Amino acid sequence: MSLGSGIVDERRDEVRRLQARAHGMLPGVAGICMFMLVLTMINAFAALRGSFGEGRGKYGVLMLCTLLAAGVFGLLRLLRWGWALVLAGCVMLCAGNLFVFQRTHAAPFLVQGLFAMVFFLYLVRTEVRDRLR
């Protein structure tokens, strides 16, 4: 066996690994996208109704909802920028809910914050990142 055949075998194994890489969306990603889209719509309508105030809060929530909705549609197309926006949305949602829980001690905010953390941890998995373009 010569030195060149080892390099060829290594390249052949690398090509097989790349070909074996799965394509398509994982069911968890689709579920996270649906949940985040519903949550985004609820928060956008609440901001338009004035639940977050009339000043900076209203426009800040609308801006974040717009970015998150764009990210959800990008992630549904398995684009890397959509994944990054949804990932950032999960972190912000978790931090916001845990902050409100710390202030109010209302259990629903803790549950929502932990769900957002689980979504974040799911989206950073290697299997999810490998399927993005």
Structure tokens, 35: 């949940």
Q: What is the pLDDT of residues 67-83, one digit of tens each?
A: 999 999 999 999 999 99
Q: Side-chain half-sphere of 122: how many Cα atoms within 13 Å?
A: 16
Cα 80 from Cα 100, distance rounded (Å)? 30
Percent of the chain with pLDDT over 90: 60
pLDDT value at residue 15: 61
Q: Calculate the alpha carbon distances from 127 to 26, 28, 67, 81, 89 in Å.
A: 9, 11, 24, 17, 20
Q: What is the pLDDT of residues 14-49, one digit of tens each?
A: 766 655 556 778 899 999 999 999 999 998 999 899
